[in-house]
Structure 1
Amino acid sequence: MVYRPLLDLPKPADMFDRSWEWSELTAFVADEGPEATMAVVSGRRRQGKSFLLDSLARATDGFYFCAYEATEAESLRRFGEELGQYCGSLAPMRFDRWEQAVDALLELGRERPVPVVLDEFPYLARATPSLPSIIQVAYGPRRPERLRSRTRLLLCGSSLSFMGKLLSGTSPLRGRAGLELVVQPLDFRQAAAFWGLGDPRLAVLVHSVVGGTPAYRREFVRDDTPAGLDDFDAWVCRTALSPRSPLYREARYLLADEADLRDRALYHSVLAALASGNATAGRIAACLERPVSDITHPLTVLQDCGLVRKEADAFRRNRSVYRVGEPLIAFDHAVSRPRLALLDRGLAEQVWESARPRFLSAVVGPHFEQICRDWVAHFAAPETFGGMPIDVSYGTVADPVERTGHEIDVVVRGAVGQDNGVLLSLGEAKWDRVMGTGHLERLKHAVSLLAARGTDTSAVRPACYSGAGFTDELKAAEKRGEVVLVDLERLYRGE
């Protein structure tokens, strides 16, 4: 077997982006340390983890093994066959226990750093619950087999609930990993480039359906991308709403991938309540006509799976809201699930005609607000708000006179000089509405309410985010330095 140097390993030409993940992985496997090391790679299914790790193994002459649901005996048999082929053995290797198999992996690294990938590790661990403990023992700090091996073991899995617990709490592998890498979906700018969408408005609409999951373009819709805004409605009907398309059932399969989800009907109902605009635990419970205690555990599990995210109110830390974390699930519950019987009969156009207004208000509107928060967190230049954004969230400003609360879509705190946590901006986001001075006045009123409560608002810059544009009066206010305006062009191409 020919040894290829691991330093400065070029990223495969057919890999879109993932430059940071590739650099982290190559740095891990190129480590010239004298002892065996271990990494944990996780992320929701369809994000390209297997492609990334298989490419790494191929580029470095490493060993890649992808497990599937099977008994311990069958998994060991397959593992022995593939390891034998990798080593050039005339006959398959035979292992009766995983202790022997893990030691065989350590032997691979006797001469050089060798990447070893165990993909879909949760399948192996469910068939052999003691496997994490077996690896813990094999990677003992003073174990001779580990000290004389330079095997770079990478454990990978798509079950976030399982992988998240692998290195936490009392897990046997806690403290053993030298790298913990989570492969995230592509951000909204990367997704637009990946789908080849030059029109920012179309990019937001497509992202509101499929998010940043790479596999949805390649494997699920076979590179069928909307030709333009005029083609978006037809594209939705022939992909996400077509029973012939794998994308049609994908949202339901995302839950099926998580073995920790027992009562799937309850989890679907929680997601449906969230997609309907019920963002607090109390409102979700009321929608399902259950006590709050019944939905606490499902919400926690859905957060562990990455399907729901919890956000604390910037001004009321004891109040939190929940949001669907996967756009395709929000789309499915808002558009598809209520009309499954009609969709199964091939009536996508009729369903979409009636559901499109709900899609724009219940799916695209909230998703656009999240895109605006992501823009501030990852793309906005420090001078945009007079400081480096550190925390970007939503908030509710109480109005004691009117006895109401003003919801603020984008709350920015950041660093100004030596001070961290300075309130830099309050922003409002409107997807389908031309914004005017009335929106600015509302933001200024919220600033005055905060100032009356003793909050330092001296650095606050009001901001308006719009997918439909701004009035001339508001543009004039921007020129006077009274407001920051962010349109679709700036979201996708500016700072």
Structure 2
Amino acid sequence: MRKPEHVFDREREWASLVSFASDTGRQARLGVVSGRRRQGKSYLLQALASSMGGIYFPALEVTEAVALRLFTDELIRFTGAPVPAFRDWIDAIPYLFSVVQDRAVPVVLDEFPYLVKASPELPSIIQRELGPGGSGAASTARLLLCGSAMSVMGGLLSGTAPLRGRAGLEMIIRPFGYREAARFWGITDPRLAVQVHAVVGGTPAYRKEFVRGDAPAGPANFDDWVIRSVLNAEVPLFREARYLLAEETEIRDPSLYHSVLAAVADGNTSAGAIAGYVGRKSNEIAHPLHVLVDSHLLVKEHDLFRPNRSHYRVAEPLITFYHAIMAREWARLERGDAATVWRGSRARFLSQVVGPHVEMLCREYALHADPAAGEVGSGVVPDPANRTQIEIDVAVLAPVDHGRPRKVLSLGEVKWDRSMGLEQVTRLRRARDLLTAKGYDTGDTVLTCYSGAGFTPELAAAPGRDVRLITLNDLYT
């Protein structure tokens, strides 16, 4: 089944959903679709249900009785016949399975966490009806549970949860990649694309609804766009970063969680540094860190050369932008002084927001550019002789080959706003020698310079056989 023209990208997700929904087996199937709000889950599932003549039920945050009445109305629309009033979901789920028996169709229960909040027993009811002797045994329904509360959706299939082992599809709808996001925004200039992505990332909803369809007209228009659409208190995007935490039911102390995000956005990436920033003990922030990672608001990454050490980064660019630029000037922004705030924050935006963001984009580029890559990340190489450490922004390792030294495919350094020269290559070469001494296989290691500002004439003229130069144009090619 062809994807509707109005659905941008999502080719892989669409193919998986169609494959699941059109399964011809004579038994009900269960799928779980999750992802943070604004990623287009509902848009995609509505298109699926409409294309295949299925059921799409968007739950509301209401009582069980009201939810059941709304669900009854949806079943009436689907069957074109009267539907009995349901006392509870114990009545409703078997009836649903009984009316879907002639052909495989998707049945979408969107915002499923709202239903679970009002009826905690609902997952157990679904589990029973999908099990041996349940009403799902004779049904062709392809039941899709969808939601944005990642802690709730992630828990549906984990541990001892009733639905564990029942799902035939588990899909997470993620933001667009940086290249797809540039196409979605209609941006062809790589430098402008990087800056816009550093503010709004790849979240589809931020392109239209949240900025009233406003996009930068070109590189020279970026500053004006930030002032009129991001820092403008009358535009919905202005307060969005503050609301992202509200989706998660596991969060009991929003101020603590906002403080943890602020710590990471400010460059405190280890658990100890985060604890020191927020004024708590390390064990007191363990749970908030776990919840934020499960909610896809933080990402936990390991140092590739020191596996016992890990660090965190903010997964949502808008949160980083908010804490670096907006939070400290909130009162002035609410008064409408966005132009003055932006003039005073422009340098901080380039160093604290765009700089780290470009490093992340370069790692994403490296992962897809090298088919032999097994692991891509960052790391620190100790240099005891010089009493220092060499930070590797982009490290590419081959897959583990047991019994053989780990092969280092590439060591890279990233500079957003400064030209790169031979000194960067010298530092990377030193790191390669140190890794060789530690037992890594560096025979074919390429030293890669990623630059947003170009390269010195000396480096550009003679990069060397083992040196590769990557520009912003390369990232978007």
Which TM-score band (shorter chain)? over 0.9
Tell me the SS of whatever aligns to 1:270.
helix
- Write the letter of the residue equivalent to 2:373: P
Aligned to 1:45: 37
Residue of structure 2 aligned with 1:303, choices 278, 288, 293: 293
1:278 aligns with 2:268: yes
Assess if the C-alpha contact under 8 Å between 2:422 and 2:459 holds in 1. yes
1:3-54 Cα distance to aligned partner (Å, 9 max, x none):
xxxxxx1111111100110000000011111111010000110000000000
- Give the alignment of 1:133-172 within 5 angstroms: 133-140=124-131, 142-143=132-133, 145-172=135-162
Assess if the C-alpha contact under 8 Å between 2:405 and 2:440 holds in 1. no
1:101 aligns with 2:92: yes
Aligned to 1:122: 113
Aligned to 1:6: none
| Counterparts of 2:83 and 2:242, CA distance in 1 | 39
Q: Percent identity over the alignment?
A: 54
Instruction: Summarize the Cα distance change of 1:244–1:146 in structure 2 as closer, same or farther, 3 Å threshold.
Output: same
Residue of structure 2 aligned with 1:481, choices 458, 465, 472: 465
| Counterparts of 1:281 and 1:210, CA distance in 2 | 26
Aligned to 2:393: 409
Assess if the C-alpha contact under 8 Å between 1:65 and 1:79 holds in 2. yes
Displacement after TM superposition at 1:220 (Å): 0.8
Aligned to 2:192: 202
Residue of structure 2 aligned with 1:25, choices 6, 10, 17: 17
Tell me the SS of whatever aligns to 1:303.
helix
1:59-113 Cα distance to aligned partner (Å, 9 max, x none):
0110000001111111111111221122112x56411110111112211321111
Aligned to 2:445: 460
TM-score normalised over the length of structure 2? 0.97
Assess if the C-alpha contact under 8 Å between 2:406 and 2:441 holds in 1. no
Assess if the C-alpha contact under 8 Å between 2:406 and 2:440 holds in 1. no
Tell me the SS of whatever aligns to 1:321.
strand
The more displaced of 32-41 and 415-424 is 415-424
Aligned to 1:370: 360
Tell me the SS of whatever aligns to 1:179.
strand
Displacement after TM superposition at 1:463 (Å): 0.5
Residue of structure 2 aligned with 1:424, choices 409, 420, 423: 409
Q: What are the ranges of 5 or more consecutive residues in structure 1 without an aligned counterpart? A: 1-8, 383-387
Aligned to 1:11: 3
Residue of structure 1 aligned with 2:316, choices 317, 326, 336: 326
1:298-349 Cα distance to aligned partner (Å, 9 max, x none):
1111001000000000011111111011000000010011111000000000
1:84 aligns with 2:80: no
- Give the alignment of 1:153-302 within 5 angstroms: 153-302=143-292
Displacement after TM superposition at 1:406 (Å): 1.1
- Write the letter of the residue equivalent to 1:39: G
Tell me the SS of whatever aligns to 2:386.
coil
| Counterparts of 1:400 and 1:417, CA distance in 2 | 28
- Write the letter of the residue equivalent to 2:279: E
Residue of structure 2 aligned with 1:74, choices 45, 50, 66: 66
| Counterparts of 2:105 and 2:342, CA distance in 1 | 52
- Write the letter of the residue equivalent to 2:121: S
- Write the letter of the residue equivalent to 2:92: A
Displacement after TM superposition at 1:146 (Å): 1.8
TM-score normalised over the length of structure 1? 0.94
Assess if the C-alpha contact under 8 Å between 1:414 and 1:420 holds in 2. no
Aligned to 1:447: 432
Displacement after TM superposition at 1:157 (Å): 0.5
| Counterparts of 1:311 and 1:417, CA distance in 2 | 21
Aligned to 2:48: 56
- Write the letter of the residue equivalent to 1:41: V
Q: What are the ranges of 5 or more consecutive residues in structure 2 without an aligned counterpart? A: none
- Write the letter of the residue equivalent to 1:407: E
- Write the letter of the residue equivalent to 1:85: R
Tell me the SS of whatever aligns to 1:486.
strand
Aligned to 2:104: 113
| Counterparts of 1:290 and 1:177, CA distance in 2 | 39
Assess if the C-alpha contact under 8 Å between 1:67 and 1:121 holds in 2. yes
Assess if the C-alpha contact under 8 Å between 1:461 and 1:483 holds in 2. yes
Aligned to 1:385: none
Q: Runs of at least 4 residues of structure 1 off by over 4 A?
A: 415-421
| Counterparts of 2:432 and 2:139, CA distance in 1 | 61
| Counterparts of 2:63 and 2:84, CA distance in 1 | 18
Assess if the C-alpha contact under 8 Å between 1:390 and 1:421 holds in 2. no
Aligned to 2:454: 469
| Counterparts of 2:184 and 2:194, CA distance in 1 | 13
Assess if the C-alpha contact under 8 Å between 2:269 and 2:313 holds in 1. yes
Tell me the SS of whatever aligns to 1:317.
strand
| Counterparts of 1:223 and 1:101, CA distance in 2 | 41
Instruction: Summarize the Cα distance change of 1:42–1:421 in structure 2 as closer, same or farther, 3 Å threshold.
Output: farther
Assess if the C-alpha contact under 8 Å between 1:66 and 1:118 holds in 2. yes
| Counterparts of 1:80 and 1:65, CA distance in 2 | 10
1:335 aligns with 2:325: yes
| Counterparts of 2:111 and 2:400, CA distance in 1 | 45
Tell me the SS of whatever aligns to 2:459.
helix
| Counterparts of 1:403 and 1:237, CA distance in 2 | 45
| Counterparts of 2:103 and 2:355, CA distance in 1 | 53
Assess if the C-alpha contact under 8 Å between 1:83 and 1:93 holds in 2. no
Instruction: Summarize the Cα distance change of 1:461–1:150 in structure 2 as closer, same or farther, 3 Å threshold.
Output: same
Assess if the C-alpha contact under 8 Å between 2:40 and 2:204 holds in 1. yes
| Counterparts of 2:145 and 2:406, CA distance in 1 | 37
Displacement after TM superposition at 1:403 (Å): 2.1
